[in-house]
A and B are shown apart, each in its own frame.
Chain A
Amino acid sequence: SQELEQSPQSLIVQEGKNLTINCTSSKTLYGLYWYKQKYGEGLIFLMMLQKGGEEKSHEKITAKLDEKKQQSSLHITASQPSHAGIYLCGAAPHEKLTFGTGTRLTIIP
């Protein structure tokens, strides 16, 4: 089965700073999804990457997919308090989504 490992597990960043979260897969990635979860709440879809080398941006969040490395990264530029939460990567080799371990992001003023 496919395993997704995220790093770091938690991240504390000063407001305004940039940060990167990584997601590494144990198997070939045919698509990679990024979700954000606020504590005790649902998952908010951020982005889907389908092709190797693909890069997508939404507001201050950019995600890239490196198929060869079986890895994806999520980069936040000029972080804001609204970026705080748990970021999850997910892969869907079949019907189901398999999720990573999550990265808890805290933004300090």
Chain B
Amino acid sequence: EPEVTQTPSHQVTQMGQEVILRCVPISNHLYFYWYRQILGQKVEFLVSFYNNEISEKSEIFDDQFSVERPDGSNFTLKIRSTKLEDSAMYFCASSDRGARGQFFGPGTRLTVL
């Protein structure tokens, strides 16, 4: 069964460093998403991406964040200068029909020290 994959599973970084989280969506999906979940809190939407551009972003997704689909298979989230409060689980999701029926990856746990 096709699935969304994410790498790495766990990333530890120093405050101020740049990180890139990688996702491989399900191959025939066209809609891509990033969410995050701070420990003990709700899963929160960050950004949606369709047709090679951002279609919606949340207030959390400020200038330190960017997304890219560098080739036909990867979808990345870059955090330019990490802060302590960026520590969270980051989930990638993909869908073949917009917001409905999103399939999630296993997540990358980001720890900022």
Contacts and interface: CB of A to CB of B under 8 A. Distances in A.
Contact of B91 (A42, A48, A90, A100): A42
State the majority secondary structure of interface residues on A: loop
Interface string A34-62: 01000011111100101000000000000
Q: What is the interface residue range for chain B against chain A?
A: 20 to 34
Contacts, number: 61
A43 B42 contact: no
Interface string B89-101: 1010100001111
Interface residues of A, number: 23
A45 B42 contact: no
18 contacts: A35-B104, A42-B106, A45-B103, A45-B104, A88-B43, A90-B43, A92-B100, A92-B102, A95-B48, A95-B98, A96-B33, A96-B48, A97-B35, A97-B43, A97-B99, A99-B42, A99-B44, A101-B42
A42 B105 contact: yes
Contact of B99 (A41, A44, A45, A95): A95
